[in-house]
Amino acid sequence: MNWNSSKGWLSKLALDQDCILCKQVSQELLCPVCSNDIEPFNLHQYDFNLLNHIRIARELKTAEFERLIAIGDYQWPISQLISDLKFAHKAYNGKALAELFCANSLPDEAIPQAIIPIPLHLNRLVERQFNQTVVIAKHIAKRLDIDCLADALTRRKKTQAQTQLNATQRIRNVKNAFELKSKIVYRHVALFDDVITTGATLSAAVDCLSGAYPTMRIDAWAMCVTPQNR
Ligand SMILES: [Zn+2]
């Protein structure tokens, strides 16, 4: 991962403030101590597809997609950036996370024409007033100069929180959860979620899209992967 370009961008965003995580004095949004704590996957080693990573492929064996890109495991400091964005609405974290994602220098063939963030059910969106996945996806789209189709999918089923369920229950919980809301004119898209655990949610969204567009290439993107067997 090219951290130098990431750090350069982060420094341009600095608001004469301290590190957004540890509050130490820093010229950058993430200070060197916090950014050095990130243990990114070496995507190049896996041919820009984490399903070539043995542990991840085993954990996502029921996934209905063929290509996955994520930054790293769900651990400090990425976990904190996501949590603060989600629950404390710290908007700058969305930009920082998007930049960390884009620091991967993806090859041209891996870059889709559009990114589609996984939507929340309307009731949950009203409750929370914020979908952190959309916020990050919009920043990624801007950085990669691609479209962000935040309204392409809708979540018609109010699902239980996946964190309380096992792998089989997760698949059942999100089956038919999504509905296509608008026409998609692209041949290659990436569905984006902030965190991927079993892949059940992303798989349900892939199912929905591929049902309508059988020849469309649909990649799965996430900020991070939660290892299940820890
Ligand atoms: Zn820091």
pLDDT per residue as tens digits for the range 84-97: 999 988 888 999 99
Percent of the chain, pLDDT > 90?
Answer: 60
State the residue range of the domain holding 170.
39-225
Q: Indicate the burial class of 172 (C-beta count within 10 angstroms; 0-12, 13-18, 19 or more).
A: exposed
pLDDT per residue as tens digits for the range 36-72: 999 999 999 999 999 999 999 999 988 889 999 999 9
User: What's the CA-to-centroid distance between 229 and ligand 1, angstroms?
Assistant: 29
User: What's the CA-to-centroid distance between 230 and ligand 1, angstroms?
Assistant: 26
Position 1 in a domain: no
Percent of the chain, pLDDT > 70?
Answer: 90
| pLDDT (0 to 100) of residue 166 | 76
Number of domains in the chain: 1
| pLDDT (0 to 100) of residue 4 | 44
Position 10 in a domain: no
| pLDDT (0 to 100) of residue 2 | 47
Position 31 in a domain: no
**Tokens standing for residue 5:** 């370009």
Q: Indicate the burial class of 49 (C-beta count within 10 angstroms; 0-12, 13-18, 19 or more).
A: middle
Contacts of 15 (CB under 8 A, 6+ apart): 92
pLDDT(100) > 50: yes
User: What's the CA-to-centroid distance between 75 and ligand 1, angstroms?
Assistant: 15
Classify residue 69 by its DSSP letter: E
As beta bridge partners, residue 227 has: none
User: What's the CA-to-centroid distance between 205 and ligand 1, angstroms?
Assistant: 35
**CA 119 – CA 143 distance, rounded (Å):** 21
Q: Which residue has the tokens 């350069």?
A: 8
Would you say the C-alpha torsion 41, 105, 150, 87 has a positive or negative sign? positive
Q: What is the domain-level CATH number for residue 161? A: 3.40.50
